[in-house]
Amino acid sequence: MSVIPNACQAELTELRREIDAIDQQVVDLLSKRQKQVEHVVALKKAHNLQVYHPSREEDLISARRQQARDAGLCPDFIEELYRIIMHRSRVEQTGQMALKAVKPGATVLIVGGTGEMGRYFVNWFSGAGYHVRSMGSKDWPNVAVLCDGIDLCIISVTIDRTAEIVKRIGPYLPKNAVLADVTSIKKVPLDAMLKSHPGPVVGLHPLFGPSTSSLDKQIVVATPGRDDDACRWVIEQFSLWGSIIVMSEADEHDEIMEFVQSLRHFATFAFGQFLAFKKVPLARTLEFSSPIYRLELGMVGRLFAQDAGLYAEIIFATPERRELLKDYINSLSKNLEMLEKGDKAEFKKEFKKINEWFGPFGEQAMRESSFLIDKLIERF
């Protein structure tokens, strides 16, 4: 190891002291920024404004990227830094917004409130100051009391039981109470709610699970049912908590979810099933793996680390989903001849067709996956 000359050591010490002083200024400025954010939160809470403001954030990112270029810094580095800052800011805001009710004093009944997702909503609505009642399978003898005077009833039970529970509880609901469900299909539950309850109805599909600690940028699909004005406060509550609300008709929602959920989960299941069938040595493969393989395998492992019943309900929820999966399996069998012949030309021909079908999304996918891969490399 070379010996650092005294003069060099002294200069190095001084430079490090200056860097430490600059770092302190950076932290002080972040603290000052946070205090301004708290003023923004107070204003948003007073006027029930949503936390996430996409255009404001993208304008800020564009401005900071240009500022980075002017200062001779890497725009990507500055963007990543500010996205971390903004995410932390949104989490702080949503944490405070969790204590704010769009409809103060309202009473909310969570049917299925003893389940994981039900308990999740009990906590969020309770935290916002609502009067919350939880109903489990043993509480039916008290259903009339539990429904008395409520403003919102959320059905949070498994897909196969939702229509039955809706029909059963409908007669006990106050006429003006909002009835909502949170299942991952919408047409059947929505039809059941409209038939069983003459009042306001809305379908909700939160695209997240009960382990989610923040609703920041979490998507909630809302499907109109009846009396949109009376249901608006429920949707606004999720928006206030930081969720992104996607409006969709029930038919559109269910058709898209066949691909987004059912097909994707089944394809992941089939991949994991084949790995297990071949007795692939997972730990050893990771030693040889690229970051993208680790990421893909991580998604497979994530599926099998969760509840089988939940995924069975999602995958087999409707006849349409099962037909789609049969089409998927049949489509795979069409590749057998190509594999048997080792037909590279046919593969490249199909590849080109699919590439053209994906269009500009291919470039977007490259950017987004590259970002995830970089993050994975940093972690491992």
Asked if residue 117 is part of any domain, the answer here is yes
> In this structure, are 20 and 152 located in the same domain?
no
Residue 102, domain member (yes or no): no
Phi, psi of 183 (to 5 degrees): -80, 170
The pLDDT of residue 311 is: 93
For 308-338, the pLDDT digits (tens) are: 998 999 999 999 999 999 999 999 999 999 9
- Nearest CA among 158, 112, 163, 161 for reference residue 135: 112
Domain identity same for 140 and 182: yes
Name the strand (E) or helix (H) holding 299: helix 291-304
Note whether 197 and 321 are same-domain residues: no
Domain identity same for 144 and 159: yes
* CATH number, domain with residue 294: 1.10.3660.10
If asked whether residues 81 and 137 sit together in one domain, one would say no
| Model pLDDT, residue 372 | 81
Do 79 and 28 fall within a single domain? yes
Are residues 116 and 77 both part of a single domain? no
For residue 2, is it within any domain? Answer: no
Q: How many CB atoms lie within 10 A of CB 145?
A: 11
Residue 205 located in a structural domain: yes
Amino acid 117 reads: M
3-state secondary structure of 74: coil
Is there a single domain that holds both residue 233 and residue 264?
A: no
CATH of the domain at 32: 1.20.59.10
> 368 and 295, same structural domain?
yes
* Of the residues 43, 69, 97, the one at which a domain ends: 97
pLDDT tens per residue across all 380 residues of the chain: 566 777 788 888 888 999 999 999 998 998 888 888 878 777 776 676 666 666 777 888 888 889 989 999 898 888 888 888 887 777 776 666 556 889 999 999 999 999 999 999 999 999 999 999 999 999 999 999 999 999 999 999 999 999 999 999 999 999 999 999 999 999 999 999 999 999 999 999 999 988 888 888 899 999 999 999 999 999 999 988 889 999 999 999 999 999 999 999 999 999 999 999 999 999 999 888 888 888 899 999 999 999 899 899 999 999 999 999 999 999 999 999 999 999 999 999 999 999 999 999 988 888 888 888 887 777 76
Q: How far apart are CA 366 and CA 39, in angstroms?
A: 38
* 319 in any annotated domain: yes
Q: Does residue 21 lie in a domain region?
A: yes
In DSSP notation, 78-144 reads: HHHHHHHHHHHHHHHHHHHHTT--SSTT-EEEEETTTSHHHHHHHHHHHHTT-EEEEE-GGGGGGHH
Domain count along the chain: 3
* Final residue belonging to a domain, choices 97, 115, 146: 97
- Is there a single domain that holds both residue 88 and residue 116? no
Per-residue model confidence as pLDDT tens digits over 335-359: 999 999 999 999 999 999 999 999 9
- Give the per-residue pLDDT at 50: 66
Shared-domain flag, residues 154 and 258: no
Flag whether 232 is in a domain.
yes
Whether residues 311 and 374 fall in one domain: yes
Q: Which domain holds residue 357?
A: 253-379
Both tokens of residue 166?
A: 């809706």
Tokens of 273: 């099933």
User: In the listed set 248, 279, 300, which residue is the last one of a domain according to the structure?
Assistant: 248
